[in-house]
Amino acid sequence: MHPTITAFERSPDRGRGQARDMRVRWALEEVGQPYDVRLVSFEAMKQPAHRALHPFGQIPTYEDGDLALFESGAIVLHLAERHDGLLPKDSNGRARAIAWMFAALSTMEPPIVELTMAMLVERDKSWYAERLPLLQDRVRIRLGELSRRLGKADWLAGAFSAGDLMMVTVLRRLNTSGLLDEYPDIAAYVARGEARPAFRRAFDAQLAVFTGAARSSQS
């Protein structure tokens, strides 16, 4: 039996790999762990059966035997700890890579989500023009800091790790914001992540869900 993850039956991003199952798929591909996917509708996500797996009624979830997990960060960390390939072998190196996972989720992701959500749902509001530059500047501060730390390195802490996997998935959320163009080294870092064969396989798998759903709704 392979582990099973959940993903959107119809992702609002139309297969652009922005939903958080993408990072779990990518981690599974990096470590060579085959997996099954159960697609869930927005309605099913809020039903008791799914809430038993995910208290907040969201995707992704992860089930393997009698282990059920929610939170993409916890799932990726679990995979990284149980398989080779996503964390350094030495304990200090592991701790540094895990620190970058937390940095991605708790320092970079909140202002990025705030900005991208505003761009999605506040465009027609009277305050949008005034609020947008504030939100952009908050993200610019973090991108500048990240860029200075990355310097000329390919990855954040030595070899590619779960920290980079998480950071790249968080930064990809800025793809349509134009902000990555202001930081060519960060844009190149994201592109390096996206060029990894495991990323491509994960991306194609989630895109196939969307194209399959689009095809079936036409027929």
Question: Where on the chain is the footprint of ligand GTB (CB under 6 A)?
Answer: 11-13, 18-20, 42, 45, 57-60, 71-73
**Cβ of residue 202: shortest distance to ligand GTB, in angstroms?**
14
**Cβ of residue 61: shortest distance to ligand GTB, in angstroms?**
9
The residue (of 57 and 85) whose beta carbon lies closer to ligand GTB is 57
**Cβ of residue 117: shortest distance to ligand GTB, in angstroms?**
9
The residue (of 57 and 93) whose beta carbon lies closer to ligand GTB is 57
The residue (of 42 and 102) whose beta carbon lies closer to ligand GTB is 42
**Cβ of residue 65: shortest distance to ligand GTB, in angstroms?**
21
Q: Which residues on neighbouring strands pair with residue 5, listed in sequence order?
A: 37, 62
The residue (of 110 and 158) whose beta carbon lies closer to ligand GTB is 110
